[in-house]
Structure 1
């Protein structure tokens, strides 16, 4: 600290009485020595000043204060205050979370590898030199709000392979502190699974339900959007006048359509209620109600047949990235999901080969999260008409829209495709049937095989 005067000062007035440095809050004097030369005075604290502390400098005026060489005194005290800098950050940052987790297995081959830090980091140090996956080319990015660096491989990782990820001591926080040591973790991608269970005999018989693209059980059916197209019949045994909304068929019946909710049925709507406009608007069609009732009974018979088959192979709860041969597959914990990749069904050249999936509770296709649609890929002559999903409760198909599903879904408690507001079309080559609760479609195309 110091001061510069307008003229030469009487050196005998330069002392620790006329120049003081004190803690503004406590009034404690910061001891030091005063030096003077050529109109400039410098104060040397004996000890380092405290961080983040406000100090007061007082240069004393008046007859007992500073004077020039002619003996003229400063008129008044000169006072200034200032605050020292904050305590510098010397603590090394740490990596708090990594994804995939260390020693994780069954990691999707399209995974994004990331590391989250304990504090704000210098983005210029987040690069391919400091964040690597051994043997993998990719792009490193950094999200400052979440303090997360991500490594996106240039191509999908290899299946059934262990990878080593490293964040080196080259990364630094905003104060320049480096990691204390390299952060290293390993993970293994999923292995392709080809399971060959015994052949399925006899085949599944849908009866009169085979002509329906969707069946809303005893509750009804709802369409949202203008892109829904059902290439087949639809039906329900519901009797409420609002149990069917957003559909019209080739017979002239319209069920509560609006400008934003219009679904085309390239077949007939068989139901036990009346339409809004059309041939069945005046009264319930007894023949159509009888057809719907029989179709529900046939769907229920098929469901019970599928559920009664002996438990099959256990492919794991998540079917993503797997290639399955014909057979019966039973969900190990009651639910199947296809999240993080597509499912391939390989008939191995047999066009009549069947695939049956049994689950006590739910079926979820799409994800992780709502934004990633997944699909069923049919290979080796596999046909959608020979794929069956027996769902104990509810089926959710590509909630974010998009993707292609295959097979006949028979659920106890409802089916939904996409989510209101999504315009990306979900395609089902098969059937969506619920025995009890309703079926909801959002911009969905169904092709009855």
Structure 2
């Protein structure tokens, strides 16, 4: 098998871990995956995004979730679109962890709309959204007539020596209608023989994951058909077809770091979260054992239940250890899971790369794998590229501090996803992102994280001291 899956059930009284382990060709790395019991489904992105303007009038509206939903809870009652008090007629569909509202007719020009997804939406375990999710956007005056295009593929066309246990992916120029991403519109063949697999979609990337390893030293043809459409219903102009040939070696797949319940937060730390300037956070944030008073700059409002707070700067909820039950206990668990995740990332053995660039990877392209530095790690304004497939994993073990200079950009290529990139930072200062830096990935810091003015983050900031923000956009992956 290509991947490790371990499932653990953490019992509150006994704190015993029970595992069901599936063996694999991976290294001796391991991951503990907590069963989904209480985690509510979370919206990770929308199209149009919050506050978007000049939105084309023939678009559908989509909300992408962090997990699979119970499709029976996706309907025109749980997903509505309005202009003021006037409801928009339309149909609601679901595919690839995304809800899509398709208006019956084009939207009005130069008009503000409000989309709402209610707590009637549930995941497969019956967990409902914690609260309604509401966002607004404003249309422009034009329709979308531009067809989506494939901007890159992994593997590349006519590539040779491709590891025989890799997924195949294609990145698109715009958001697709996720209901058109299927095993019919994305196929893989060896000659005329179809390859069995699963097709998924996230971050503008279509992913074909073969059920079994591909044959070695064999040519394969991948096809994405014109059945793929964007949210305006515009189809791919022509089929996208490319070929590649496998080699005789497999890529060693790292197991991702399990975040447990800490994965429900875009920012989580132990001592405080502060912000200045106009910050925009998508996802929940929380502190523990610190109290709500250690969350500053958000002008938050405590909910009537006293279990969470809200803020105009946060599309999500704010939690602290001194809020009403069950928040204190949930926060204790989340912080514990964060610490377990840090230990997991730090404890991975047999690195693929050691002391790369003597602690300065600026200008480099980083392949999937386990990286280890006995020093700090620097990325200058030259930036760094993280390149690999949509199911590949990167773990960076950094004994010192992580520093991104002003204007430094972490660029993802080949379908690499921020949710699969883990930066474990042990330094005594912690993590510093310079002004206007652009960072991707999950930070697990033993100390603090400072995000300077105008820097952006797509990932999660999980620190064992404090997180300091200054007019930043922080979005969960």
Query: What range describes the TM-score normalised by the shorter chain of this pair?
Result: 0.3 to 0.5
TM-score, length-normalised on structure 1?
Answer: 0.46
Point out the structure with max Rg over C-alpha.
1
Q: TM-score, normalised by structure 2?
A: 0.44
